[in-house]
Amino acid sequence: MDVDLHAVLDRAGQADRLGRKIAYALQLVDRVLTDLGEHAVAISFNGGKDCTALLHLYAALLLARHTNIPLPTPQDLTTEDPDPLDRRTPSPCPEVPIDGPPTTPPPISFNPVDVLTSIPQASSSSTASQKLSFQTKAKNSGEHRATHHIPSADRSHSLPYDPIRSIYITSPNPFPQLETFVLDCTERYGMDLYRFGGGMKGALCSYLDCQGGKGVKGVLMGTRKGDPNGDVAELAPTDPSWPSILRIHPLLHWSYADIWDFLLELKVPYCELYDQGYTSLGSKHNTLPNPLLEVDRGWEPAWKRGYNIPISPSPFSRPQTSWSRLTLFHGALGHVLNVPIEEQIHVQNQ
């Protein structure tokens, strides 16, 4: 299945909530590419919905850069949507704003090079020791051996940009459908993808040390506010104990609804498991369909019940990932049927 990357650029020109967020993300990544260079930026891709949206957006940006298409400018941030629930294109479910009216991140005012050079540099001896430790573990366990995947020659020649530098760090025992989807994306978007198993830190170190990650200074990630590791800046250097890279989070201010609006409206292919009741994808041994999506005939797709949270006075605030909280409060509040599982509810103490 081919994809329409021009549609992303067209959608970014619309002055609604989603259009502004797309335009801002494009501008943010474009600035990073200008300062660091395209060859110095890779994308972390595992087939999930967030990084699928990011990959599609990134490919659209590369198309624009290599075909001299001007990027849309984020619309006037003081202009409010006429109605926060209004959509230029109907959404499968209306989004209920749980954090107040739609907002757009502030204008870009950073220098990625300055952020990158501000990363505390470990001593050469400690860096060498750290790298040796990672490599020894990888050699002993075989976890961090890379599998390299590239698009076909015909596909590579049909794209205006160079293959997208990519790292895929798998979960233990990943779903076969997810693995297939990732490989399909390698061909569809023209990815130069290195696949690693094992822990993230060791895999990242192995990637940066191999030919595929040579010269990479920044990694695009699909992290959003409310994710377990979502309390970060748009540009965030790694901790001193990690390999030194710049983490880039273009979708940080996107909501669950924004992701699904983007994927569905722009007809972006996504992993089929999201149509089978799954709202989060990990290991097949410990990941189950969302119980709130179960219906008599089977399972509803992840996007269908991903928006509706009561907006009358209630104890709910920003969704958080917490199965225990969801189980507890779904039992106590049985009338709450449409709670997004991946962005589970968080109850404030009142």
Write down the pLDDT at residue 81: 42
Name the residue among 93, 73, 98 with its Cα closest to residue 19: 73
Q: Are 119 and 239 in contact (CB under 8 A)?
A: no
> What pairs with residue 165 in β-bridges?
192
For the cut 90, the answer to whether the pLDDT of residue 9 exceeds it is: yes
Write down the pLDDT at residue 76: 46
What is the arithmetic mean of pLDDT over 150-168? 95
For the cut 60, the answer to whether the pLDDT of residue 135 exceeds it is: no
198 pLDDT band, cuts 50/70/90, is: confident
Crossing angle of the two packed helices 200-209 and 124-141, in degrees rounded to 10: 110
Pairing assessment for the beta strands 218-220 and 191-196 based on DSSP bridges: unpaired
Write down the pLDDT at residue 66: 97
Helices (H), the chain: 6-12, 17-36, 49-66, 112-117, 124-141, 153-158, 176-189, 200-209, 256-265, 323-332
Write down the pLDDT at residue 286: 85
- Of residues 142 and 258, more confidence is placed in 258
For the cut 50, the answer to whether the pLDDT of residue 99 exceeds it is: no
Write down the pLDDT at residue 111: 61
242-296 per-position pLDDT tens digit: 989 999 999 999 998 999 999 999 999 999 999 999 988 888 888 889 888 888 8
Gap between the Cα atoms of 132 and 97, Å rounded: 49
Question: What does the mean pLDDT of the chain come to?
Answer: 75
Backbone angles phi, psi at 168, to 5 degrees: -120, 110
For the cut 70, the answer to whether the pLDDT of residue 56 exceeds it is: yes
User: Given its phi and psi angles, is residue 277 left (phi above 0), alpha (psi -120 to 50 degrees) or beta?
Assistant: left
For the cut 90, the answer to whether the pLDDT of residue 337 exceeds it is: no
Q: Which of 28-42, 119-133, 136-150, 153-167 has the lowest mean pLDDT?
A: 119-133
What is the arithmetic mean of pLDDT over 73-102? 39
Write down the pLDDT at residue 112: 60
**DSSP one-letter code for 254:** -
For the cut 90, the answer to whether the pLDDT of residue 160 exceeds it is: yes
- Of residues 86 and 158, more confidence is placed in 158
Write down the pLDDT at residue 305: 61
- Of residues 305 and 132, more confidence is placed in 305
**Domains contained in the chain, CATH given:** 6-75+112-265 (3.40.50.620), 276-350 (no CATH)
341 pLDDT band, cuts 50/70/90, is: very low
Q: pTM for this one?
A: 0.75
Q: Which of 66-75, 175-184, 205-214, 244-253 has the lowest mean pLDDT?
A: 66-75
- Of residues 131 and 195, more confidence is placed in 195
Instruction: Count CB neighbours of 4 within 10 A.
Output: 13
Write down the pLDDT at residue 304: 80
For the cut 50, the answer to whether the pLDDT of residue 23 exceeds it is: yes
For the cut 60, the answer to whether the pLDDT of residue 237 exceeds it is: yes
Query: How large a percentage of the chain has pLDDT more than 70?
Result: 67
Q: Which of 28-32, 112-116, 133-137, 198-202 has the lowest mean pLDDT?
A: 133-137
For the cut 80, the answer to whether the pLDDT of residue 88 exceeds it is: no
309-324 per-position pLDDT tens digit: 322 222 222 233 333 3
- Of residues 325 and 106, more confidence is placed in 106
For the cut 70, the answer to whether the pLDDT of residue 73 exceeds it is: yes
231 pLDDT band, cuts 50/70/90, is: confident
Q: List b or e across 208-239, with b for residues whose CB sees 16 or more CB atoms inside 10 angstroms.
A: bbbebbeebbbbbbbbbbbbeeeeeebbbbee
